[in-house]
Amino acid sequence: MKVKEVEANAKKLDESKLASVIKELHSLGELIRARQEEKQSIIEEFNSEDRRFLVGKLSSRTIKASIQKTKEELKRLDDEIRQTIKDSQKKLKELDKIISSQNPKRFSVNLSGIKEVKGGKK
């Protein structure tokens, strides 16, 4: 166990950085939910078009165009949701890093002053 005499200063968490990462994480969560809702509305829209096709109100050509459009939209939304999930996991890793770097410095006090203790049991 090494004892190092230093000017004693406790670690300080960068609160503003933490707050900004948390804010970003929150908005990513909202984005995922928004895209999921958009996807649901596209499914519902297609379902109603399909019903209109089945009762003969829409032509085969129109429903084919609608299928193509729906497929593209669903793919776009799925890609975006996957990307947002990745981004949120990145942000969570960043948070982990910020938090785990706050592991406390150990100080020991005696009559001669405060010393930082390195190594040894925690």
Q: What is the DSSP letter of 120?
A: S
Instruction: Report the nearest approach of other proteins to the CB of residue 32 (Å).
Output: 5
Contact with other proteins (CB under 8 A) among 55, 109, 119, 120: 109
Contact with other proteins (CB under 8 A) among 57, 64, 65, 118: 64
CA dihedral (94, 97, 98, 99) in degrees, to 10, reads 120
Residue 35 to residues 12, 20, 51, 70, 78, Cα–Cα distance (Å): 38, 23, 24, 14, 8
Q: Which residues bind other proteins (CB under 8 A)?
A: 8-13, 15, 18-19, 22, 25-26, 29-30, 32-33, 36-37, 39-40, 43-44, 46-47, 50, 53, 60, 63-64, 66-67, 70-71, 74, 77-78, 81-82, 85, 88-89, 92, 95-96, 99-100, 102-104, 106-111, 113-114, 122
